[in-house]
């Protein structure tokens, strides 16, 4: 005779049967200061996320007691900003560590579903021109549509045989390709690339390259550092500047490109699950990639709500690839011509 197997609900064991929704924590019962210190964000921001994700997080469940969207979001924010499933975080909102993990998975997928809503290049001409004007105001570099860079996020080893995620430092990671505007708003985020791939290879294979090479953005370019190849739509610094114009170009390039470096540092500071201080992301590459992308979405939403990207202390360290820059000089004659014309027109 078949023996029925009982599926144990950790929350049910802890709290018993009762209401169908677990609402043990109330936002209105705590101060904004507490919310910011514990979950990284103020009440208004959290309420916006509840409105944004509530319907998705309330999907029918086979579990006897569903966890409310509000509680799921608090659990996920607690993990993103602390990088930990510490018992105190679960205790604060009244759920077990196992339920914390499920909440992070649910909220992560809900945010990833909305990534294209919050992370994209502007399309209308007026907004594109504003984008260029804002970049030009930083250091006098014209025509800039975004600044691009890569950063590694440490993950657990997928398995002993898979070396594709082992980076130059011998650690397992994802190499994430990011583009932002002059305020630090992300315009593109590709978070799934294996850590063994150098930055130039990531860009070569990225959707970003297809987007720009189809002439979607033909009257401007991105700025990238010397780990990338010069392209007609991607301006890199000169390796050995010789003339005053070349020095001025490199200085303007560096000052403008610094925006993405600051953005990546402050994202790691705000989302400590990315900075490695609590250890690597203990998920598969796919799930880790989704967590990183979810943090990117939250980063852009936070800027929409006036939470300045530069306000957080930049304590996180961005682990970036150390490319062999001297081997990265472009042989694209048209790209060299575009950069030379830029030098003559704006920096001579």
pLDDT score for 219 = 82
The CA distances from residue 169 to 75, 160, 173, 320, in Å, are 33, 17, 10, 10
The pairing of strands 173-180 and 66-67 is: unpaired
Closest among 234, 252, 207 to 330, alpha carbons compared: 234
Neighbours of 297 (CB within 10 A): 23
pLDDT tens digits, residue range 56-89?
Answer: 998 765 554 578 899 999 999 999 998 876 655 6
Cα separation of 120 and 220, whole Å? 16
pLDDT score for 275 = 86
pLDDT score for 44 = 93
CB burial class (10 A; 0-12, 13-18, 19+) of residue 306?
Answer: exposed
Angle between helix 43-57 and 32-39 (nearest 10): 60
Ranges of residues in the chain with a pLDDT under 50 are 1-22, 64, 312-327
- List for the chain the helix, strand, coil content (%; round to 5): 50, 10, 40
pLDDT score for 67 = 86
Cα separation of 207 and 113, whole Å? 18
Q: What is the DSSP letter of 180?
A: E
Closest among 293, 259, 300 to 273, alpha carbons compared: 293
Cα separation of 315 and 81, whole Å? 13
Closest among 225, 205, 191, 175 to 297, alpha carbons compared: 191
Question: Can you give the residue ranges of every domain in the chain?
Answer: 27-57+67-113, 119-283+328-347
pLDDT tens digits, residue range 35-61?
Answer: 888 888 999 999 999 999 999 998 765
Cα separation of 4 and 303, whole Å? 51
The CA distances from residue 112 to 122, 179, 224, 327, in Å, are 19, 17, 26, 36
Cα separation of 261 and 309, whole Å? 12
What angle is formed at CA 172 by the lines to CA 171 and CA 176, rounded to 5 degrees?
A: 110
């Amino acid at each position: 005779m078949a023996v029925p197997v009982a599926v144990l609900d950790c929350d049910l064991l802890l709290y018993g049967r009762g209401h169908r929704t677990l609402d043990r924590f109330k936002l209105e019962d705590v101060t904004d200061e507490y919310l910011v210190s514990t979950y990284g964000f103020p009440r208004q921001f959290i309420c916006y996320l509840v409105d944004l994700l509530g319907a998705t997080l309330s999907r029918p469940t086979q579990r006897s007691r569903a966890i409310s969207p509000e509680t799921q979001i608090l659990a996920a924010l607690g993990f993103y900003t602390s990088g930990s499933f510490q018992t105190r975080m679960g205790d604060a909102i009244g759920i077990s560590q196992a339920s914390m993990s499920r909440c992070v998975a649910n909220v992560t997928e809900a945010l990833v579903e909305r990534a294209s809503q919050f992370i994209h290049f502007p399309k209308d001409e007026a907004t594109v021109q504003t984008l260029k004007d804002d970049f030009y105001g930083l250091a006098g570099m014209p025509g800039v549509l975004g600044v691009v860079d890569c950063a590694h996020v440490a993950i657990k080893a997928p398995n002993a045989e898979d070396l594709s995620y082992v980076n130059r430092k011998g650690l397992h990671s994802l190499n994430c390709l990011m583009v932002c505007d002059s305020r630090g708003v992300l315009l593109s985020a590709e978070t799934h690339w294996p850590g063994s791939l150098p930055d130039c290879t990531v860009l070569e294979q990225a959707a970003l390259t297809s987007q720009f090479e189809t002439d979607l953005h033909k009257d401007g370019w991105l700025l990238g550092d010397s780990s990338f190849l010069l392209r007609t739509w991607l301006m890199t610094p000169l390796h050995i500047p010789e003339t005053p114009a070349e020095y001025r170009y490199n200085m303007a390039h560096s000052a403008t490109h610094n925006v993405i470096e600051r953005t990546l540092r402050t994202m790691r500071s705000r989302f400590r699950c990315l900075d490695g201080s609590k250890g690597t992301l203990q998920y598969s590459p796919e799930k880790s990639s989704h967590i990183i992308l979810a943090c990117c979405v939250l980063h852009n939403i936070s800027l929409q709500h006036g939470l300045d990207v530069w306000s957080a202390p930049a304590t996180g360290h961005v682990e970036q690839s150390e490319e062999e820059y001297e081997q990265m000089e472009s042989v694209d004659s048209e790209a060299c011509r575009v950069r030379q014309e830029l030098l003559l027109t704006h920096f001579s």
